[in-house]
Amino acid sequence: MSHDRIDSILQEERQFAPPPAFTRLARIRSASELAALRDRAAADHTGFWADLARGELSWHSPFQTALDDSAAPRYQWFTEGTLNVSYNCLDRQLANRGDKTAIIFEGESGDTRRITYAELHREVCRFANALKAQGVVKGDRVVIYMPMIPEAVIAMQACARIGAIHSVVFGGFSAESLKDRIEDAGAKLLITADGGHRGGKIIELKAAADKALSHGCASIEKVIVYKRSGHTINMQAGRDVWWSDAVAAQAAQCEPLWVESEHPLFLLYTSGSTGKPKGIQHSSAGYLLGATVTMKWVFDIRDDDVFWCTADVGWITGHSYVAYGPLACGATLVIYEGSPAVPDTGRFWKLCQDHHVTIFYTAPTAIRALMKHGDAIPGRYDLSKLRLLGTVGEPINPEAWMWYHRIIGHERCPIVDTWWQTETGAHMIAPVPGAVPTKPGSCTLPLPGIAADVVDEQGNSITKPDKGGYLVIKKPWPFMLRTIWGDHDRYIKTYWGKFGGKYYLAGDSARRDQDDYFWIMGRIDDVLNVSGHRLGTMEVESALVAHPRVAEAAVVGRPDDIKGEAIFAYVVLKGERPAGGVDTALTEELRAWVTEQIGAIAKPDDIRYADNLPKTRSGKIMRRLLRSIAAGEAITQDTSTLENEAILLQLQGKQ
Ligand code: WTA
């Protein structure tokens, strides 16, 4: 589609009303039904959530207090109640859905498995018993470093079943990152695999785990290894146990451990504006409620749906919309192990066709990458079962939105652009597809019970349309993070410091249009969004300066058509700057170094060498200037404070 056409859509403020064929069968079918929910939430915020918690979750013992805010901002929801998340996801389905397919799995090489609810329940029980046999008890931390296979979900559910706190580390993270996360959490047990398949290669998970453990991780007692790739790996006697051996003698029944509502279900590390990732801590009951109600409100999940969220379980999206939400709703979900480009870029659409996917949820970066390959490829597949499409992770540009709408959704499927974060646990601002007209590029309106607002520096609501400000949430919600593991002060400072403990600060800027629709504008902190993944500039800088030849580094984002943002690093070397600013071998070495320190997602796209970094008189790096240069824009900043203006030419790659 031409840019002119996109521009005209935007100028017309074009809206897409919910398609009648969709609305007819939707759970929430009209603006007035949705308004009734909103009114109820507005009239009695905690009562609204308490009713949902009673209705949606199965409790072992009922809660007495909906919200305890006596120690705010450490909010506690549904206190005195006990339940088990795995019971809610699995046992509850056995009566009516035991033979229903819970998971349709496809490996990168095309191997498939179907797992029913009864089978999944059995496997989770056996693995939960195996964890107990290895000495794991309630509250212990278990790190999961797995490929995207059903066993990753089984491991998570098994932890939930016995009250162990899981911390999933994305399989693309390096040994170094894995080690940092294991140590911060003080994990007792690590669950990994020999290797996973991605992009036609084997991802050496066990080798990376061995490396992490050889450098530290003293808290780890045992490593359970699932055999996936089948290649030769090292198994350390006394420490490493094959998954198949661990479960061999275990019973297929495991009584769920009833835990308090606030019992931590998991930690998930995410990037912030310092070099050290934060262990975001989520609760059991409140978190599960969020995953459940948003599956219903936003994904309109039904019993006959086949739901596919392409996210890896290493990210929050893979927690809420792979491992927990769909199962809590008794849905059939798809898990795909590999790359969207193997054997070609039609793979996602082929998967949708072959498995009759009805709801498809992915990231704008994937849509843009697949869009680049043209309309003919999706045209080869039967996408007629699709009824709803979703996006998450970054703003979606209207061009990609329109392509998704026309070429994938055949103008028949509503698109839900869902704004949320690791910290928020589940969707916060997103259309309810049978009730809210959509606009390309806007995540539309806050969900019922979510008090989102855009405020100015003083915390006052911005009512003027299209004026940007801070995105905040003004009331606690059940699926909010509870703290940062081991660093409650950082939790308070990061999320509640700006507005005196009153509002949750999301870290994004946003504006609202004349219809009160939200438009997310970008991060307000030093966090990049690379292919929908959060990455702190400080993390990449710390990795670079850990290299023996690097004295100083500054990392900024540069706009990128596919990834959203690319990583641009300015590097000052110890000793001489390379002649003409070019040293291809060193650049490759530094890229490989960062990959080893953090993971491939953090690999700088560009590295530019300079004698100095531009700093203000007070010694702060002029990041705005560096961002302009990286974007190839004209320099409008005042550079008179630069000690040596010649470095501008170096930074621009002109000298
Ligand atoms: C960004 C992912 C615009 C945002 C669930 C947020 C989005 C960060 C959207 C959280 C969206 C997420 N539109 N921006 N629909 N969804 N973001 O923690 O900057 O990996 O703060 O959670 O992604 O990323 P996280």
- Contacting residues for 54 by C-beta, under 8 A, at least 6 apart: 62
Q: How confident is the model at residue 635 (pLDDT cuts 50, 70, 90)?
A: confident
Q: Are 223 and 240 in contact (CB under 8 A)?
A: yes
| Band of pLDDT at residue 655, cut at 50, 70 and 90 | confident
Tens digit of pLDDT for each residue in 117-157? Answer: 999 999 999 999 999 999 999 999 999 999 999 999 999 99
Contact 326, 357 (CB under 8 A): no
Question: Is the minimum distance from the CB of 534 to ligand 1 under 6 angstroms?
Answer: yes
Residue 349 structure tokens: 């659409």
DSSP string, 380-447: TS--TT--EEEEESSPPPHHHHHHIIIIITTTTS-EEEEB--TTT-S--B---TTT--B-TT--BSBP
Note the pLDDT tens digit of each residue in 457-509. Answer: 999 999 999 999 999 999 999 999 999 999 999 999 999 999 999 999 999 99
Ligand 1 geometric centre to CA of 420 (Å): 5
What is the 520 CA–ligand 1 centroid distance (Å)? 9
Provide φ and ψ at 150, rounded to 5°: -55, -30
Q: How far apart (Å, rounded) are the C-alpha atoms in residues 429 and 482?
A: 20
- Report the atom number in ligand 1 closest to the C-alpha of 523: 19
Task: Tell me: pLDDT of 5 over 90.
Answer: no
* 391, 394, 396, 428, best to mutate for ligand 1 pocket (most atoms within 8 Å of CB): 394
**Which H or E element spans position 353?**
helix 347-354
Distance CA 298, CA 308 (A): 14
Tokens describing residue 415: 């698109």
Cα(363) to centroid of ligand 1, in Å? 10
By DSSP bridging, strand 201-203 and strand 196-198 are antiparallel
Q: What is the pLDDT of residues 345-399, one digit of tens each?
A: 999 999 999 999 999 999 999 999 999 999 999 999 999 999 999 999 999 999 9
3-state secondary structure of 84: coil
Ligand 1: distance of its center to the CA of 392 in Å? Answer: 6
Q: In the numeric block, which tokens belong to residue 344? A: 């070609």
Question: Which residues, at least 6 apart from 588, have a Cβ–Cβ distance to it below 8 Å?
Answer: none
Query: Do the beta carbons of residue 316 and residue 267 sit within 8 Å?
Result: no
394 lines ligand 1 (CB under 6 A): yes
Distance, in Å, from the CA atom of 333 to the CA atom of 277, rounded to the nearest integer, reads: 30
Q: Do 348 and 366 touch, CB atoms closer than 8 A?
A: yes
Write the DSSP string, 261-296: TTS--EEEEE--SSSS-EEEEE-SHHHHHHHHHHHH
User: Residue 297 carries which DSSP code?
Assistant: H
Query: What is the Cα–Cα distance from 200 to 343, expressed in whole angstroms?
Result: 8
Cβ(562)–Cβ(496) under 8 Å?
Answer: no
The residue to which tokens 């071998």 are assigned: 585
Give yes or no for residue 76 having a pLDDT over 80. Answer: yes
Q: Residue 647's pLDDT is what?
A: 86
Q: Which residue has the tokens 């699995």?
A: 90
- Kindly report, residue by residue over 243-260, the tens digit of the pLDDT: 999 999 999 999 999 999
Atom of ligand 1 nearest to the CA of 317: 5
pLDDT at 244: 98
Beta carbons within 8 Å of 4's beta carbon, 6+ residues apart:
none
Which helix (H) or strand (E) segment is 7 a member of?
A: helix 3-11
Give the number of the atom of ligand 1 that is nearest the alpha carbon of residue 396: 13
Of 589, 584, 582, 587, the closest CA to residue 569 belongs to 587
Give me the chain's average pLDDT, please. 95
How do residues 167-206 score in pLDDT, each as one tens digit? Answer: 999 999 999 999 999 999 999 999 999 999 999 999 999 9
φ, ψ at 507 (rounded to 5°): 90, 5
Reported as a single tens digit per residue, the pLDDT across 433-446 is 999 999 999 999 99
Residue nearest to atom 4 of ligand 1 (CA): 394
Residue 108 Cβ contacting ligand 1 at under 6 Å: no
What would the pLDDT profile of 296-338 be if each residue is shown by its tens digit?
999 999 999 999 999 999 999 999 999 999 999 999 999 999 9
Q: Is the pLDDT of residue 1 over 50?
A: no
Residue nearest to atom 12 of ligand 1 (CA): 393
Task: Find the angle CA(301)-CA(306)-CA(309) to the nearest 5 degrees.
Answer: 80
Return the sign of the alpha-carbon dihedral for residues 281, 284, 286, 292: positive
- The CA distance from 151 to 628, in Å, is 45
CB atoms within 10 A of CB 393: 24
Three-class DSSP category at 157: helix
Contact 405, 460 (CB under 8 A): no
- Choose among 133, 163, 358: nearest CA to 246: 133
**Atom nearest to 422 CA in ligand 1:** 18
Phi, psi of 307 (to 5 degrees): -105, 125
Query: Residue 9 — very low, low, confident or very high, per pLDDT cuts 50/70/90?
Result: low
Do residues 409 and 415 touch, judged by C-beta distance below 8 A? yes
Report pLDDT for 534: 92
Check pocket membership of 316 for ligand 1, CB cut-off 6 A.
yes
- Ligand 1 atom showing the smallest separation from residue 527 Cα: 19
Instruction: Say if ligand 1 is within 6 A of residue 420 CB.
Output: yes
CA of 326 to the centre of ligand 1 (A): 20
Pocket flag, ligand 1, residue 417 (CB < 6 Å): yes
Which residue among 391, 420, 450 has the greatest number of ligand 1 atoms within 8 angstroms of its CB, and so is best to mutate? 420
**Cα–Cα distance between 285 and 262 in angstroms, integer?**
7
CA distance linking residue 189 with residue 432, whole number of Å: 40
What is the distance between the alpha carbons of residues 166 and 168, in angstroms, rounded to a whole number? 6
**Any residues with CB less than 8 A from the CB of 468 and at least 6 apart, and which?**
454, 462, 509, 510, 511, 521
Q: What pLDDT, on a 0 to 100 scale, did the predictor assign at position 639?
A: 80
Q: 443 in ligand 1 pocket by Cβ < 6 Å? A: yes
Amino acid, res. 428 = M
- Nearest CA residue ID for atom 23, ligand 1: 393
CB of 418 sitting under 6 A from ligand 1: yes
The pLDDT, as a whole number, for residue 616 is 77
CA–CA separation, 40 vs 38, rounded Å? 5
